[in-house]
Structure 1
Amino acid sequence: MKNVANATNYLDIDTKELFRIYSKDKDNKDVRNILIERHLYLVNLLAKKYINKGVEYEDLYQVGSLALIYAIDRYDIEKGYEFSSFATPTIIGEIKKYFRDKVWALRVPRRVQELSKKISEAKVALEQENKTHPKVKDISDYIGCTEEEVLEAMEASYGYQPISLDSSGNDDSEDKDITLIDKIGEEESSFNNIEQKDFINKFMESLNELEVKIFKDRFFLDKTQSIIAKELEISQMTVSRIEKKIVEKLRKEYEKHL
């Protein structure tokens, strides 16, 4: 009963504060479990990107859930990044690794399979370290092989188990005429923008009210400097000067982000 009471006490605490608590007490399983529950939606979203590619959704969800736990254990809230930005590369990396480890459909040399696994692990490590997708040269330097070998293994990694899009996607007699191609949905464009949105939102927190207004109008609403100047009742030269200041600040923040 005491453990249940302790867990209940944490339910009303916001996520950031829970991460601070967990960072100081890694043995606090109640906080850890709540953090897992609050972020399973991320696993669900990312796992759905890879359905209908020869692996059951339940398997992908399980792999992604383990990756989520791994990310929670490693996340350092004091570095200032949103957890979703930190966890997404880890979850995607583990799902891709699962494909490479379990679902080779073509006869690929063992050497290439093992190198593909190393590449998958290197990508995750480099993405976590540099907060950006690594280039072929970065991966080859990290692993200690040539760029040609990396490209060869990456090309071979497409040998996942193929499934015909004309095959039935359901064993029920009522749906026997429905094929997999009928069930493939459109990819959510927001998946690839999670990290970028977090960065932009954090950047705007460093701007004052006037700068935020000009930043949004210029780069999101495509307003001209003259229109913004009229709306704010200031000179166009002032708008131009503030815009240059914002762009320079954005460049510096992005360099630090990398």
Structure 2
Amino acid sequence: MKNVANATNYLNMDNKELFKIYSNDKNNKEVRNILIEKHLYLVNLLAKKYINKGVEFEDIYQVASLALIYAIDRYDITKGFEFSSFATPTIIGEIKKYFRDKVWTLRVPRRVQELGKKISEAKVFLEQQNKKHPKVKDIANYIGCSEEDVLEAMEASYGYKPISLDSSSNDDSEDKEIKLIDKIGQEENSFANIEQKDFVNKFIECLNELEVKIFKDRFFLDKTQATIAKELEISQMTVSRLEKKIVEKLRKEYEKNI
């Protein structure tokens, strides 16, 4: 009856009182269990941030729960800060460590893994700051590395635990027998042509009438500079100069759209 009474009293106490008791008596499993139960919401909240990363939620939850226990055992109430402020980085750190050391199917260098985390943080910051999805060069400039390093880390992100192509598509369709491999489409070459045509049409809008004629005659009709000069009744040198100007405009426009 005494134990039941103690348990009831503990349940009526706030977190500070419970941590004071546990700090003075680390063998008090009742108080420890109550503290764990009271803070499992924190585990659930932080674990959910890592859903759809190639790991079952239950595994992440278990890692986060063990981290919570570790944080409770290490928490020093005399420091003056809230337990949640102390536990959060501890739990997140253990989850990230689990992903870093256990989850990668392909062995990726630690340097690349760490860069991948910086890229993810940079994407979020830059997207919020500029209100648009950042380009590779924007991410590279923000982090302070080369575009090649950013692309390497992005490619390496596929080293997380893969999903079998023979597994179910796991969607809301009535036919549950559909596999992921059935949803893989074939590359349509005409798509690239459509994109190029759209780019060229937009680029032509930036040219004047004379530049449009030279651009089409030189790059689509394969006319020589001499032929174009004769048709326009201008010198071949003028055609050559305008062609260089058009090419430079084309290069700048292309770089803007990369």
TM range (shorter): 0.3 to 0.5
Which of structures 1 and 2 has the larger relative contact order (alpha carbons within 8 angstroms, sep 6+)? 1
